[in-house]
Amino acid sequence: MVSEIYKKGETMKGYVLEDINQASWRDDLPKPVAQDDEVVMQPVIVAPCTSDVHILETLAFPTMKGKPLGHEVAGIVHEVGSRVKDFKPGDRVAISAAAIDWERPEAQDGYGKYNMISPYASTDPRLMGCFAEYYLVPQADLNLAHIPDEVTWEQAVALTDMATTAFEGVEWLEIKYGETVVVYGIGAVGLMAVCAAVLKGAGRIIVIGSREVSFEVAKAYGATDFVNYRDGDVIEQVLTLNGGPVHAVVVCGGKGVSAISDAVQMVCLGGRVTNVAGHMADETFTMPNIAWGFGMSDKSIRSVMCRGGRANLERLLALVKYGRFDPSKIVTHVYHGMEHIPRALEQMGGRDRTAIKPAVFLE
């Protein structure tokens, strides 16, 4: 069986999770072979995510141990399996961070993203992260997306997780034209949420953050008001600024799970809160019962994960192709050479306040 799934003797290089706070380069990783509905892609550009940082710091997904990290990638099709119809070697492609197992019954009910074909949960040794020379994509015709010629590599990689996550969270807010929306946390995902809120017709868009570089990009994307959490209680600042509660809040970061409680206290009766931030630690949060309207306020809270699949990602790529928004504004640092991946991960961990999203060209 091993001879069927790996080319005998062929290896590749990757940045591998070894243990908590331990990762290293290895050049003896088996290079995968595309079978049946699979594609092997050659990453051209990758981007670290805060999830990679959290996994490195906590080993939240033990099945990742011994595998390369990374899930934000765009690249070139290297090899296709016998059942792949829509892609060929040389095609420019991207894949959502949530690669879906479309053969699961849940996918028929719209919940395919909760059954991901992911190196983070899979025990399949061939399913590795994208911080490597080659990357295997199962069910490629349904998970890969063609990148239009008009879309740059930086734009494409910024869509794969930051935009797919943010747009899903904003979509669940069901924004009505002219409503006031708060984006809580304006890292890379929060900034994509600003773009999504604009496209959905929000009127006033209040962003909460602290870094000047993020405020500048948020303004360029269409944010109207800016709250610095270092200036005091964010609930009070938002309510004072708006003259009362807002219609909706998307939580993209902030001070851990307690940001969800803050958001509920910011929204009006019938207000909506979505959370797209990944909270890896085992935390508990509370909120005042009065903010919940004693259970009778018609306020809603929804936890949201990024949407996967080809159709959704190709729609986002179309928005970029036709100039509706430019996700590359979040890419503040670009490196050339895969040896820069550790530095990019460090920046994504928040140790560099000038960085929003670093990206690395592998060559």
pLDDT in tens, 198-226: 999 999 999 999 999 999 999 999 999 99
- The span from the CA of 90 to the CA of 73, in Å, is 16
Hey, what are 92's tokens? 């420019």
Task: Look at 46-50, 326-330, 346-350 and tell me which has the smallest mean pLDDT.
Answer: 346-350
Mean pLDDT, range 120-146, rounded to an integer: 93
| Displacement of CA 307 from its chain's centroid (Å) | 9
For residue range 76-127, list pLDDT tens digits in order.
999 999 999 999 999 999 999 988 999 988 888 888 888 888 888 788 889 9
SS3 content of the chain, % helix, strand, coil (to 5): 35, 25, 40
Domain 173-303 homologous superfamily, CATH = NAD(P)-binding Rossmann-like Domain (3.40.50.720)
pTM across the whole model: 0.94
Neighbours of 190 (CB within 10 A): 30
Distances (CA, A) of 48 to 162, 230, 292: 11, 26, 36
For residue range 248-282, list pLDDT tens digits in order.
999 998 777 889 999 999 999 999 999 998 776 66
Domain boundaries in the chain? Answer: 2-163+306-361, 173-303
Q: Is 269 exposed, middle or buried (0-12, 13-18, 19+ CB in 10 A)?
A: exposed
- The span from the CA of 199 to the CA of 342, in Å, is 35
Neighbours of 303 (CB within 10 A): 15
Which residues share a beta bridge with 336? Answer: 361
- The span from the CA of 344 to the CA of 15, in Å, is 12
The fold of 2-163+306-361 is: Quinone Oxidoreductase; Chain A, domain 1 (3.90.180)
pLDDT band at 361 (very low <50, low <70, confident <90, very high): very high
pLDDT of 136 strictly over 80: yes
pLDDT at 5: 52
**What is the Cα Rg of the chain in Å?**
20
Mean pLDDT, range 319-327, rounded to an integer: 98
- The span from the CA of 217 to the CA of 213, in Å, is 6
Residue 248, classed as helix, strand or coil, is strand
Residue 268, classed as helix, strand or coil, is strand
- The span from the CA of 63 to the CA of 24, in Å, is 16
pLDDT at 114: 82
